[in-house]
Structure 1
Amino acid sequence: MSGPKDSGSTVKQPTHPEHSLQGNTDGRLLAPDLARGFMLLIIAIAHATLWVVATETTQIGRPLGGTLVDDITNFFSTLFVVNRGLPLFALLFGYGLAMMVRRQTESGMLERKSKQLIRRRALFLILFGIIHAVFIGGIDILFVYGISTFLIGWILFKKDKVLTYALVYMSLFFVIVLPIIWVIFSVITDIANVETPSRGSLTPGNYVEALFYNVINLPIGMLGQLVMYPMLLTLLIGVWAGRRNLLDAKLHRNWLKGMAIIGTTVLIVGALPLALISVGMWITTPQMEGFMTFLQIISGIAGGLGYMGIFGLIGSSVKQAGLITRSLQALGRRSLTFYVFNETLLVILLSPVVLGLGASTHSTGALLIALFVWLLSLVIAAIMAEKRIPGPLDSLMRKLVYK
């Protein structure tokens, strides 16, 4: 990505009207946009279930019980959805940051100016996240990624050796610490709740209560994301992939094939034990359930890489984009706008402070609602692309960052 003029250098302002959250511009590969469009579906499905409040839940937020269809939904969601969309998002986010810095450097932008733009992007992501989480009430990820950008942004301007050390040390940290955290969390949860209460008693009943609830929950949720999930590690892997332009199948087809095969295999194997626990096919101790939760979460990184590999191959194989491909691309290019749009609709449909369908539906119903919301966003994005209308929030983010 290029940026505004800086003293001592002449660079071009980004000109593409369809900026995404990751900051890619015209001439970018098809694969990242397709992956972002798909990511919004995975996130919508995962987040919709978090509004189901009439039943007990698993440690990763899946409603327990229900019909056989609900059990099947839970089983496959644990394998392919929960803790899979956010790793894909983090990988693409880190990938986009690396590409953005590289394009700025190639355009002649001074490092000082590039760092300033990274910090501005992080700041406005935090601001967008606060507005979204507090006033709209959606399940937010913008705030934590803004914080994460501040934490790892300096590595974007270091050599590969520094990035490699950071990846090694952070991998060791999460592999050692995360299982301990989740085992302890599982044991404490089991002791505190002999019968885990439904989330209905923990949710606000009106908008004013929701505002206070959201203000309190925002920093707690951010700390949980950073400590109990390997978000920073996943972001750095995305930076590593972006530096190598890994989604360009012309350069890395074999890599993408390996990522698709190995990543999806690890995704399934790592989540299978927890999927069996979630539908009652395996009754085990809280300690073992906590460890299996860790395996499900950590395998999500491999799953995100697997999804990246799949869309990298799909993007390179598309000779002439059809309606579905164009629509998915349009959605991915407006990922910030439609992420907030999808979350807003989920709040309206499922939140107890609006229509409250989360109190009367289960896993399958939440899945269908999420699918409806995503399909609606897909149609709207396609219409916007046809009329050459950029995503409002994506465009606003660009204007704020680049003044």
Structure 2
Amino acid sequence: MKNLKKQTGYSRGLARGSASAKERLLAPDLARGFMLLIIAIAHAPLLLGRPDGEGIIDEAVNFVSILFVDNRGLPLFAILLGYGLAMMVNRQLNAGTLERESKRLLRRRGFFLLLFGFVHAVIIGGIDILAFYGFSTLLIGWILFRRNRVLIRAMLIVALFFLFLLPVVWMGMAHAMDATGMSLETLGQSNSESYIETTLFNLISFPFMILSQLFMYPMLLPILIGVWAARNNLLLVGNRKHLVRIAIIGTSISIIGGLPLALDGAQLWSSSPTMEGLFTALQMITGLAGGIGYAAIFGLIGPIVSRTGLMVRSLTALGQRSLTFYVFIEAMLVITLSPVVFGLGQVLHSTGAVIVAVFLWFTSLLLAMTMEYRGMHGPADALLRRLIYRI
């Protein structure tokens, strides 16, 4: 084993390291790069509590965000997570790594993602998904070593669980918020202007944040879908006709399911707490179809675009450093919008928040391209690889 470590340069028992640049698929990196924009647009207004707009522009922004952004980008990220986990395990097993060592590698990835998420959520104060992705990896990682029928059974059970749970949970939340005068969008967010108080709030709420993401958002299902897609060469690669069909059906379901909440969010009609809760659950459930549809769209784009195009190279560079720039964008949103630092969220409405998000994404795009030209890895991505592969 010592000789193996000397030969490979990786942790004892691993036959190889992470995917090389030549092994990386274009479509997932394009998707990650573009979805950072979707995540930024979705998260920025949450630091405002998504206030009611002062005019038609704010109402239009809310309408478009609910219809195409909110709970659409995160499912795609979850699909990409599951897809990447399956590909990582397959690469190791195919290279000759023993199953027990592959499981240890997977557990290390889950643990360190959880740790990164803790730092991001508690210390930086961003709206975090890393901790939940790490927790999910630890929770369902064993399925990656089981046969397809076990995976499909797990997908069906999780899907039925959320179909019954989400409407009940969100109707209850809507009634609770209506009774207290609070907003669903500001739930779990600290309004303190003190960094110490905000950090303590984030520390105490950290485990509850993970539990709320587990039971209030259908995020486990797209991770499992991503694993299934990788095993069956679907969504990000595969038959073009199938991808076109999936893209059309997925995005159509997403738009139809998100329309009631979008109309309500744009104040085009007013609904009761019960209906608002049902609309929220419907928007989330159909957002899974949206994430699948978005993945299929990038699966269609990947094979036909040129890797030499400036926009493609920039998106790919950003996608290859998605962890670094996810943390960067979230940190900058906290700095610019939260009351702890500059507090622009106290004066901006939805439109201003979206402008800030787009500006930060373009900044990330330029930084990623600069790093690509200089041959630099994303610091957070490189650190995670070093920790999990022990190189």
TM-score by length of 1: 0.91
Q: Is 1:111 the counterpart of 2:107 in the alignment?
A: no
Matching residue of 2:24: 28
Q: Does 1:85 align with 2:73?
A: yes
Q: Name whichever of 239-248 and 305-314 sits farther off.
A: 239-248
State how far apart, in whole Å, the 1-side matches of 2:251 and 2:19 are. 36
Instruction: Please say if 1:331 is aligned against 2:335.
Output: no
Match of 1:220 in 2: 208
Match of 2:241 in 1: 254
Task: Give the match for residue 119 of structure 2.
Answer: 131
Paired amino acid for 2:330: E
**Selected match of 2:382 from 373, 395, 403:** 395
User: 1:247: Cα distance to partner?
Assistant: 4.2
User: Once the two structures are superposed, what CA deviation does each residue of 1:42-75 show, in whole Å capped at 9, x if it has no partner?
Assistant: 111111111115xxxxxxxx32232210000000
Is 2:161 aligned against 1:157?
no
- Whole-Å separation in 2 of the counterparts to 1:190 and 1:335: 37
CA deviation after TM superposition for structure 1 residue 198, in Å? 9.9
Q: How much does 1:305 deviate? A: 0.7
1:363 and 2:350 are equivalent in the alignment: yes
Whole-angstrom CA distance in 2 between matches of 1:356 and 1:264: 35
SS of 1:218's partner is helix
- Native 8 Å contact 1:186 1:287 kept in 2: yes
Q: Deviations over 1:208-244 (max 9, x none)?
A: 1111111122222211111011111111011111112
Give % identity: 54
Unpaired stretches in structure 1, ≥5 consecutive residues: 17-24, 54-61
What does residue 19 of structure 1 align with?
A: none
CA drift of 1:26 comes to: 3.3
Q: Which amino acid aligns with 1:334?
A: R
Cα distance, 1:5–1:205 mapped onto 2, change above 3 Å: closer
> TM-score, normalising length from structure 2?
0.93
Extract structure 1 runs of 4+ deviating beyond 4 A.
195-202
Task: State yes or no: 1:76 paired with 2:64.
Answer: yes
Q: How far off is 1:106 after superposition? A: 0.7
- Root mean square deviation of aligned Cα: 2.0
SS class of match (2:141) = helix
Would you say the 8 A contact 1:3–1:402 is kept in 2?
no
Once residues 253 and 19 of structure 2 are traced to their aligned partners in structure 1, the CA distance between those partners, rounded to angstroms, is 40
Q: Secondary structure at 2:302's aligned position in 1?
A: helix
Report the Cα offset of residue 5 of structure 1: 6.3
Alignment length (residue pairs): 382
Give the superposition deviation at 1:83: 0.7
**Residue 113 of structure 1, CA deviation:** 0.3
Residue 241 (1) aligns with residue 229 (2): yes
Change (3 A) 1:276 1:397: same
For the 8 Å contact 2:174–2:184, the answer to whether it is kept is: no
Letter of the 1:29 counterpart: L
CA–CA distance in structure 2, aligned partners of residues 252 and 203 of structure 1: 49
Alignment partners' CA distance in 2, 1:28 and 1:397: 17
* Conserved? CA contact 2:253–2:289, under 8 Å: yes
